[in-house]
Structure 1
Amino acid sequence: MADDTLPAVSLGEATRVWAKIGLLSFGGPAGQIAMMHRELVETRRWISDARFLHALNYCMLLPGPEATQLAIYIGWLLHRTAGGLIAGILFVLPGFITILALSIAYALYGQVPWVLAVFAGLKAAVLAVVVEAVVRIGRKALKNRMMVAVAALAFVAIHFFRVPFPLIVLGAGLWGLAGRWWMPRSFPEPASAAADASSDFLIDRLLGQGRLTHTRPSAPRAIRVTLLWLAIWWGPVLAVMTRFGPHSVLAREGLFFSQTAVVTFGGAYAVLAYIAQRAVGSFHWITPGQMLDGLALAETTPGPLIMVVQFVAFLGAYYHQAGLSPMGAGIAGSVLTTWVAFAPCFLWIFLGAPYIEALRNNRALHAALSAITAAVVGVVLNLSVWFALHTIFAGVVEHRFGPIRLEAPQWSSVHGLAAALAALALVAMLRLRLGMGWVLFGSAAVMFAWRAWSGQL
């Protein structure tokens, strides 16, 4: 049994951890979820696998970047609204600063090869973190053949048939509800309050002891949260429309990226084509080549992949916004777009998380969520496969066989050094127990040195 004197985590300590996670949040959603799982579940034991996946289930259902929302959710569980704000802001801030600096450099000088070299090395090391996390999460979430089957079906559906993620979640949830009555032994019972109260994981223990009172649903609180965050979300957009007019580039960026914030179900990949089509073809803010360059920057820098919208908004305002200097307009567009892209994340979590926590001990819903958890493992595996393909190979071609779509690497485009660095990083972390920071630094340094030596910088 765990020690009843398990120490609480101060807000200062949590802030340092969230800052570390934000700085190391490379690799898109798969890498970011893996990073949080390693830090919060495996290393610090702040939250159990079951509750980590329970929170991830909800975040996967929401529009917007799921990893950012997961950070906000866990920060909120631990330290109320302040914890959620700190976790979410620090998760986004390093990527925001990096993309802004690179956007400025891009506008002034064009592509910056040495920066891409450093981040390419980091991605190779993060691939090892992703592989490790998928294995660990899978072992703990897939406890019987039923859960393994659900995860496998989810992977096949999303990887080969491109079934939308919301439909996969709906199907898994309905299967869990039905299976609870037909095959009850295949679906675990919810943990009792007594079991949580003696847990080795801090958040689970505090919840079991009834000490996290802010997680209880309240209708008046829900109304206050909704009104406050709608004002926070839309206030800057209305201010820009008042100052520059509703047809200005900045106003259009605020409106357009607010719209995309509520339709990005299933992560950034599901909406990138739509963003590219509108930004390039409809608004003419940037060229197709600039869109590809922005995507490359967002894929290799820390933070959510949806940060590509910040690069798009910077260039759009830099080149086309009247009434400000080009640099001032670009920075304004970058800040406004980041604001409207992530403010909804806080609204979804602060509004919905108390109700998700309250539903956790309902047996039927727990069975549905258990099936959804298994499906999420399959989806995370799909993200991991995508990340691995695009890290190790420069070219990936999609083949279609009727309804089946298969992404196959172009073997001649293999990044031998990236593959070797990923393998060495996996050995260093799993066998040698080398710290993640040293592994990431070493991988980035080797990639930079190689590209400098080969004349690619």
Structure 2
Amino acid sequence: MHRILVDEKKWVSESRFLHALNYCMVLPGPEAQQLTVYIGWLLHGVKGGLAAGCLFVLPGFLSILLLSVLYAGFQDLTLVQALFFGVKAAVLAIVIHAVIRIGRRALKNAPMYLLAAAAFVSIFFFSVPFPQVIISAGLIGLLGSRLAPESFVVIKHGGPEGDGRAIDTMMSGNAAHHTRASLERAFKVMAVWLPLWFAPLIVLSVTLGFDNVFTQIGLFFSKLAVVTFGGAYSVLAYMAQEAVQNHGWLAPGEMLDGLGMAETTPGPLIQVVQFVGFMGAFRDPGTLSPMAAGVAASVLATWVTFVPCFLWIFLGAPYIETLRGNQAVSAALSAITAAVVGVMLNLAIWFAIHVAFAEVGDIQAYGMRLLVPVWDSVQIASVVLSAAAFVALLRFKAGMLPVIAVSAALGLAYYVAFGSGAAM
């Protein structure tokens, strides 16, 4: 996105792009989607934001919807199991690689390492809710901006304004009237987007009841839309915990399958919410057919995940220019990103245990919950595939899609050579 918008199209300057990215990283929700809406809005107002945001999501939505239908309908086929056996191994390597990549950027000093460690311990051992971890990190960052700004302002954006870039020319010429903030405009935005977000939830609650699977999916992903700070990887552990352990919509391995779908299709990674919603309703369809229920839930999960993105941008973007270079915001973002590294490490270990072992139990003692794998159920082939994928990503800088494709092919070959029983 940066290469095309800043270098090739020359629509925005480097500093304005990074400032928009900074704002989107502070917001809850998928930052790539929000940045897309932000840039579209800067260039062409609400119409530009709508066009950019909808077209950014649509290809991934259609792709994952098709894959979800095939997955639910043909999951028991050996071919499907074999392909996803390899995909899971690649996804594990991608998550570990993401932890390292973001950790290198965010963990620049001892306070950041301590925040990451505290976040990991809180979630992995004590199951502290993800929102509480992120909010606490942000508050610590705000406090640190006053007490020790040199240690907490780690993520810094800056740079000169762009030479003749489209939006910067509009700004300097007072042509970008749609970017001017006003209370009247803010109330209009809320009057449109809050009902669009909450109306389906109210209708579902009244007509189907609070405990219905559709109501639960709508409420869960609405909550997810306001706590997903730090990007999709950071919230996957929270989503997996809720969807797998609390709601029972998915099995642990299926969460990895869904992530593999999202990694290999166009659009934001957070589109995995669509697969989770599909499988949850597919298994509890009520009066609908399983496929019809899955499709409806897929649309619902996508709607309540991405509608808030438009609200945050159209409401807050006009005010965000006043925060350019704000030290407190940068410190809070730095602290949140450090905590996200700890959250992602928790996700990586959770995935690793479920990829490497076919059976995983847990023990609870002294307020802690520990995952305990059944060592006899170790899946050597999965471990080897994951290690090879990780080496390809980290050492040989291989692309994500080629790594997933090769891993899927190797998983298929393993099934053909040794049979499905050997991989379980």
| Contact 1:393/1:411 (8 A) holds in 2 | yes
SS of the residue 2:369 aligns to: strand
TM-score, length basis structure 1:
0.69
Q: Which residue of structure 2 lines up, in the alignment, with residue 15 of structure 1?
A: none
| Alignment of 1:304 onto 2:236 | no
Identity %: 30
Provide the residue aligned with 1:17 in structure 2: none
Q: Which residue of 1 aligns with 2:342?
A: 378
Match of 2:373 among 406, 409, 433: 409
Alpha-carbon distance, 1:371 to partner: 1.6
Say whether residues 1:346 and 2:309 are aligned partners: yes
**Whole-angstrom CA distance in 2 between matches of 1:278 and 1:129:** 26
Residue by residue over 1:384-409, the C-alpha shift from the partner in whole angstroms, topping out at 9 and shown as x without a partner, is: 22222222222222232302222233
DSSP 3-state at the match of 2:334: helix
1:58 and 1:356 in contact (8 A); partners too: no
* Correspondence for 2:84 among 101, 119, 134: 119
- Counterpart CA distance in 2 for 1:454 and 1:147 is 46
- For 1:374 and 1:182, the matched residues in 2 are separated by 18
Cα distance change, pair 87–256 in 1 and its aligned pair in 2 (3 A): same
Question: Is the contact between residue 234 and residue 340 of structure 1 (CA under 8 Å) also seen in structure 2?
Answer: no
What TM-score do the two structures reach when normalised by structure 2?
Answer: 0.73
Contact 2:252–2:354 (CA<8 Å) still a contact in 1? no
Alignment of 1:20-419 (within 5 A): 55-59=24-28, 66=29, 69-80=30-41, 81=49, 82-103=51-72, 105=73, 111-188=76-153, 191=156, 195=159, 197=161, 217-230=181-194, 232-233=196-197, 246-247=207-208, 254-264=214-224, 265=227, 267=235, 270=238, 298=258, 301-302=261-262, 303-305=271-273, 307-317=275-285, 320-321=287-288, 326=289, 329-330=292-293, 333-334=296-297, 336-351=299-314, 354=317, 358-359=322-323, 361-419=325-383
Counterpart of 1:58, as a letter, is L
- Cα distance change of structure 1 residues 398 and 349 upon mapping to structure 2, 3 Å threshold: farther
Q: Distance in 1 between matches of 2:118 and 2:169?
A: 34
RMSD of aligned residue pairs (Cα, Å): 4.4
Q: Which residue of 2 aligns with 1:435?
A: 399
Q: Deviations over 1:188-228 (max 9, x none)?
A: 288575x25379xxx9x978996896776554444344343
1:259 deviates by 2.3
- The answer for unaligned runs of 5 or more in structure 1 is 12-45, 60-65, 281-287
Aligned mates of 2:33, 2:143 — CA distance in 1: 32
Distance 1:158 1:263 in 2: 18
Quick check: 1:53–1:373 contact (8 Å CA) kept in 2?
A: no
- d(CA) in 1 for partners of 2:361, 2:88: 21
Match of 2:267 in 1: none
Distance of 1:123 and 1:215 partners within structure 2 = 44
SS where residue 185 of structure 1 aligns? helix
Count how many residue pairs are aligned between Structure 1 and Structure 2: 387
Q: Report the 3-state secondary structure (helix = DSSP H, G, I; strand = E; otherwise coil) of the residue aligned with 1:399.
A: strand
Report the more deviating stretch, 332-341 or 231-240.
Answer: 231-240
SS at match of 2:362: strand
Question: Per the alignment, do residues 328 and 10 of structure 1 end up closer, same or farther by CA in structure 2, a change over 3 Å counting?
Answer: farther
Identify unmatched segments of 5+ residues in structure 2. 42-48, 229-234, 263-270
**Any conservation in 1 of the 2:86–2:382 contact (CA below 8 Å)?**
yes
Structure 1 residues 375 and 178, CA gap change in structure 2 (3 angstroms):
same
Counterpart-to-counterpart distance in 2, 1:369 and 1:279: 31
Shift of 1:297: 5.4
Say which SS state the counterpart of residue 207 (structure 2) adopts: coil
Give yes or no for contact 1:119–1:301 (8 Å, CA) kept in 2: no
| 1:154 aligned partner, one-letter code | A
Q: Return the letter of the residue paired with 1:94.
A: S
1:232/1:343 contact within 8 Å kept: no
State the SS of the aligned residue for 2:405. helix
Question: Structure 1 residues 433 and 370, CA, compared in 2 at 3 Å: closer, same or farther?
Answer: closer
